[in-house]
Amino acid sequence: MSGSNTPSSESLEPRKSSASGAATADCDVLIVGAGLVGATLALRLRDSGLSVGLLDKGVLRAPSDSAEPATQHQSFDPRVVALTAQSQQLLERIGVWSKLMQTRHCPYTQMRVWEQDGTGEVEFDAEEIHEPSLGSIIENSLIVDALHTRLAECLREQAQDQAPDQKRARAKWLTLFMGRGVSELEHTQEAGRPLSRLHCDDGSTVSARLIIAADGGNSRLRDLAGFETREWDYGQKAIVTTIRTREMHDRTALQRFLTTGPLAFLPLAESAEIPQGRHCSIVWSADDARADELMACTDQAFNSQLSHAMEGAFGGVEWSDTRHVFPLRQRHAKHYVQGNVVLVGDAAHTIHPLAGQGVNLGMLDVVALAEELEAGAEARRRPEDPLVLRRYQRRRIGPNLAMMGLMEGFKRGFSEQPIAVRWLRNVGLHSVNRVAALRKALARKALGI
């Protein structure tokens, strides 16, 4: 996590090993990574009956004495996500959605998709599928702030539950291990059960029965545990920034497939600090050479090329913020479970951002893993039980691979130049746009309903 605010005053120290030197677990489940996926999973496991540790190299991004999200940033975070209805339901369940609704968010009601080479175009409309919106666009940092604020709130409730004057103290659910990065992983046994110990860069260790890697695309834990991955470069980079257009966006998202890669305008919310509804977050995925060229442009030249690439949509671009660039890499772990280590979120799969599905797939991993751990606990199975973990893997590996395949198909399909492929694309987009049932089915699929 970057841009951290306050250190966690409520981080609790791990239990020490016993006097004989034998290992004891600090928690049943240790989640490494308190980003969008890891923090959500920790909160989702609140009533699982498991003791959960959450470890991150960053600090808790929440005030320790307030239930309100930490910040109302003056400027927009360049990284945003479009959350589907399923992700929204999960955030509602863990008590975070209402906090997000108090911060900037943009429920978008229309989406237009078209391509550079041809006349094919599809328009999606929330009204047509009788939904209030097609999804909500929210800045990454605001979601992490809201998750961490909820974690801090839960820690305070937990401390009250465990106070000496409580008649029946509840078992401790959550321990935070913030401000420490993972450096080594050691596997051992205790009373015939697997136990893993993480060595952190500050010299501390934390041990657990089950270790969950939610430490992002470049997961150190995945590498330490020896997971094999299939990965390749797209040969593209994504440029992300915030822009202001001359006209209002009317809560419409745009995606245009250029021959050098897709370009998306994601409408941002108006707020007291930033009124008007003329700001969008953009993700411009472009072949490496073109991306380098765009990064080297002056602001004025960039705005003009961007306006041209989006065919002057929303009256053209009048201002753009600092540009950030990410190399695009597809990565998928061959397995999500190895012994007592499990992968979730980007640690298991990273996909092209063209359909904005990365976080949403991670949220579905969270739901599946939490449900399997809970079902296992009901059947008196331990969290590290291979049967429980394999059920999670079976539930998620197929759908994640299918979505990655679809994105790959889109990416390739729209960059192909042969006339026959271009003709097919045009016919395809026109057909989707003409057939209302198909259009509605696609909109519902993207929304996750």
Ligand X SMILES: Cc1cc2nc3c(=O)[nH]c(=O)nc-3n(C[C@H](O)[C@H](O)[C@H](O)COP(=O)(O)OP(=O)(O)OC[C@H]3O[C@@H](n4cnc5c(N)ncnc54)[C@H](O)[C@@H]3O)c2cc1C
Q: Does 261 bind ligand X (CB under 6 A)?
A: no
Could you say which of 151, 214, 368, 373 contacts ligand X (CB under 6 A)? 214
Interface of this chain with ligand X, residues 81 to 100, rule: CB under 6 A: 81-82
How far apart, in Å, are the Cα atoms of 326 and each of 38, 273, 283, 286, 332? 22, 28, 10, 11, 18
For 328-367, give the secondary structure using H, E and C.
EEEEEECCCEECCEEECHHHCEECCHHHCCHHHHHHHHHH
Could you say which of 14, 33, 63, 383 contacts ligand X (CB under 6 A)? 33
Could you say which of 220, 290, 382, 439 contacts ligand X (CB under 6 A)? 220
Could you say which of 46, 57, 148, 279 contacts ligand X (CB under 6 A)? 57
Interface of this chain with ligand X, residues 369 to 408, rule: CB under 6 A: none
Q: What are the respective helix, strand and coil percentages of the chain, to the nearest 5?
A: 35, 30, 35
Determine the interface stretch with ligand X among 222-230, 305-313, 352-360, 411-419 (rule: CB under 6 A). 352-360
Shortest spacing between CB 87 and ligand X, in angstroms: 8
d(CA 309, CA 262): 10
Shortest spacing between CB 63 and ligand X, in angstroms: 18
Token digits for 232?
Answer: 């390749």
DSSP reduced 3-state for 270:
coil
Determine the interface stretch with ligand X among 92-100, 309-317, 350-358, 418-426 (rule: CB under 6 A). 350-358
Determine the interface stretch with ligand X among 110-118, 152-160, 242-250, 359-367 (rule: CB under 6 A). 359-367
Q: Does 323 bind ligand X (CB under 6 A)?
A: no
Could you say which of 27, 30, 34, 286 contacts ligand X (CB under 6 A)? 34
Token digits for 306?
Answer: 């961007």
- Phi, psi for 158 (deg, rounded to 5): -65, -40
Q: Does 185 bind ligand X (CB under 6 A)?
A: no
* Maximum alpha-carbon separation in the chain: 77
Q: Does 58 bind ligand X (CB under 6 A)?
A: yes
Q: Does 267 bind ligand X (CB under 6 A)?
A: no
| Alpha-carbon torsion (62, 65, 67, 72), positive or negative | negative
How far apart, in Å, are the Cα atoms of 388 and each of 33, 58, 222, 321, 334? 22, 30, 20, 47, 18
Shortest spacing between CB 387 and ligand X, in angstroms: 25
Q: Does 59 bind ligand X (CB under 6 A)?
A: no
Nearest to 113 by CA among 366, 445, 442: 442
Would you say 359 or 367 has its CB closer to ligand X? Answer: 359
Would you say 240 or 443 has its CB closer to ligand X? Answer: 240
Shortest spacing between CB 308 and ligand X, in angstroms: 21
Token digits for 427?
Answer: 């016919």
Following DSSP, what letter does each residue of 161-192 receive, concatenated? Answer: HTSTT-SSPPPP-EEEEES--EEEEEEEEETT
Q: Does 271 bind ligand X (CB under 6 A)?
A: no
Binding site for ligand X (CB under 6 A): 1, 32-38, 55-58, 81-82, 181-182, 214-216, 220, 238, 240, 283, 326, 345-346, 353, 356-360, 362
